[in-house]
Amino acid sequence: MSSTAEVTFSDTDIADALAAVDTGMSVLAQSATDALSNRERVLVLQQMETWFRMIPGIGHTLINQLHEQRGDGTVGEANVCQLLQSALRISPTDAGRRVRAAKELGTRTTMTGETVEPDLVNTAAAQRDGAAGADHVRVIRRFLHQLPAAVDTGTRAQAEAELAGLARELRPDELGRAADRLAVYLNPDGTLADENDRARQRSFRMGPQGPDKMSKGSFVADPELRAYLEAVFAKYAKPGVCNPEDPTPTVDDDPEPAVAQRDTRSTGQRQHDALKAMCRAMLASGQLGQHRGLPVTTIISMTLQELETASGVAVTGGGSLVPIRDALRMARHAHHYLAIFDDRGRPLYLGRSKRVGSGNQRIVLHVADGGCTFPGCPKPGYLCQTHHGRKDWAQGGETNIDELTFACDEHHPLAGAADTDWHTIIAGPDDPYPGRTYWIPPTHIDPTRKPRINHYHHPGEYLTQVRMTRRDRPSSIPSVADWGYAWLQIARM
């Protein structure tokens, strides 16, 4: 069941404990439970729940120790979040959540060797005992985060101890009710004490796209942002302004009365269209400068067939999907860069003359890779660097398009030549994914060092997983003949 049996531990007690748990879990997983009474089934579930609750408490200290002793040479990743993602096969969000929890709930060691108790010492104890689960812990952490800064340290510690004690007896929803009432006692007026309390609440969240390509989101605006939005909405969210249903939408001038009268949009829809117009105007202004060697712009890729039929969906440099008809309408605002790029007349092969990939090469990589090529990484092309995937620059690699690939800021430093580094290779023409980048994990991640490829930005591959012919896949040297791709670089709206 576990790979720990293949590892020799320096602490035999730890090795014996892991072996005992591994054996016990194997027996449980293979045991029939038909002969148990319902009372016995409940007892088994209760025992298992206690184990589930205890395990994160043990993990918090291990995660803190990984952070404190990073750089010891046994693992390559200096960033603990990255190490957890690769070693445990968990999402970046989950890895970040575990690291943050470990800082509050795990035992730490100072540089002088002194042991430091967790910040939430009582909550951590309840979790280690198996009395408090993840939902209990979440209630307590949220309660403490929402307390005003004016609440003194002693009062916070007393409140944490009270809630941790209740977590041993109450369900999470009951604990939440108790925490809400305790918050009223500590902050009866519900007021914020200072500017920092307001500032830490500001947020903007754009959720994932739904099947209809629409994205839900939420935000908490500070007073300054609200003041700016009020001014924008006063101008651009009036009835008859920025109405996409008008053949020639009114933008700069006041709308004619008839135009305003036939505007059937709700207030929320008008404000949505006002924000869209503001973003388009800002991109068109050129005041945003450059990002990773390209003007701050919207980059959209589509197949040549989709362009010709005006159907299907295109992909942005941020990884979102745009219906082809919308992409073509967006392109009407572009004064520049509506073109089909190929490898003729464009400096895609730079040899050793330049270390960093050019803007032209980045445009090609937006289509070839879609985003970071590290296995499972969801970072889109907008957030990636160009990486020498075939041979590192320091080892004599050349800055040619068939040797470059996308790697995000977090995963780019993981690539290297050492045994604890990830190695990258470019697939040859006979590979099922020619021209794509494989990442080979170090032995502490996978002793077999099986090459991995990122299908995240090519989700159709999750469904097919079949070997494709050269005719169906792009070659290692990009060209319209091989790819049939068009690029829209929408820079001037």
Query: Cβ distance 356 to 334 under 8 Å?
Result: no
Do 130 and 249 belong to one domain?
Answer: no
Task: Identify whether 304 is part of a domain.
Answer: yes
What is the structure's pLDDT at 430? 84
Do 324 and 406 belong to one domain?
Answer: yes
Domain boundary among 260, 285, 310: 285
Domain boundary among 285, 312, 333: 285
Do 3 and 77 belong to one domain?
Answer: no
Task: Identify whether 410 is part of a domain.
Answer: yes
Q: How far, in Å, CA of 441 to CA of 448, rounded?
A: 9
Do 428 and 306 belong to one domain?
Answer: yes
Do 428 and 362 belong to one domain?
Answer: yes
What is the structure's pLDDT at 163? 94
What is the structure's pLDDT at 336? 36
For the chain, the first-to-last Cα distance in angstroms comes to: 57
Q: Is 237 exposed, middle or buried (0-12, 13-18, 19+ CB in 10 A)?
A: buried
Q: How far, in Å, CA of 124 to CA of 108, rounded?
A: 12
Nearest to 297 by CA among 248, 249, 331, 251: 331
The tens place of each residue's pLDDT in the chain, 493 residues long, gives: 455 556 678 888 988 998 898 899 899 889 998 899 999 999 999 999 999 899 998 999 999 988 888 766 677 666 888 889 888 888 888 999 999 999 999 998 887 888 889 999 999 999 999 999 999 999 999 999 888 878 889 999 999 999 999 999 999 999 999 998 898 888 876 665 566 667 777 888 888 888 888 898 888 888 888 898 998 998 899 999 999 888 888 888 888 888 888 999 999 999 999 999 888 888 888 788 877 767 777 877 776 677 767 778 878 878 888 888 888 777 766 533 333 333 333 334 434 344 455 566 777 788 778 899 998 888 888 888 888 866 665 566 666 666 788 999 888 888 888 888 898 888 888 888 888 899 999 888 888 888 999 988 887 776 665 444 334 444 433 333 333 344 444 433 3
Do 275 and 224 belong to one domain?
Answer: yes
Q: How far, in Å, CA of 40 to CA of 148, rounded?
A: 47
Do 488 and 362 belong to one domain?
Answer: yes
Q: What is the largest CA-CA distance in the chain?
A: 84
Both tokens of 321, joined, read 């999907």
Domain that holds residue 104: 37-186
Task: Identify whether 201 is part of a domain.
Answer: no
Both tokens of 5, joined, read 């049996």
Both tokens of 276, joined, read 């869209």
Do 298 and 279 belong to one domain?
Answer: no
Do 72 and 26 belong to one domain?
Answer: no
Domain boundary among 285, 313, 341: 285
325-371 pLDDT, tens digit each: 888 777 766 533 333 333 333 334 434 344 455 566 777 788 778 89
What is the structure's pLDDT at 51? 92
Q: How far, in Å, CA of 20 to CA of 291, rounded?
A: 53
Do 41 and 25 belong to one domain?
Answer: no
Nearest to 259 by CA among 278, 245, 274: 245
Angle, nearest 10°, between helix axes 121-128 and 153-167? 20
Do 254 and 275 belong to one domain?
Answer: yes
What is the structure's pLDDT at 400? 65
What is the structure's pLDDT at 149? 79
What is the structure's pLDDT at 445? 83
Query: Cβ distance 432 to 471 under 8 Å?
Result: no
Task: Identify whether 257 is part of a domain.
Answer: yes
Q: How far, in Å, CA of 114 to CA of 65, rounded?
A: 13
Task: Identify whether 301 is part of a domain.
Answer: yes
Sorted by sequence, the CB contacts under 8 Å of residue 261 that are 6+ apart come out as 239, 240
Task: Identify whether 208 is part of a domain.
Answer: no
379-431 pLDDT, tens digit each: 888 888 888 866 665 566 666 666 788 999 888 888 888 888 898 888 888 88
Which pTM was predicted?
A: 0.57
Task: Identify whether 204 is part of a domain.
Answer: no
Task: Identify whether 212 is part of a domain.
Answer: no
How many structural domains comprise the chain?
4
Do 248 and 158 belong to one domain?
Answer: no
State percent of the chain over pLDDT 90. Answer: 23
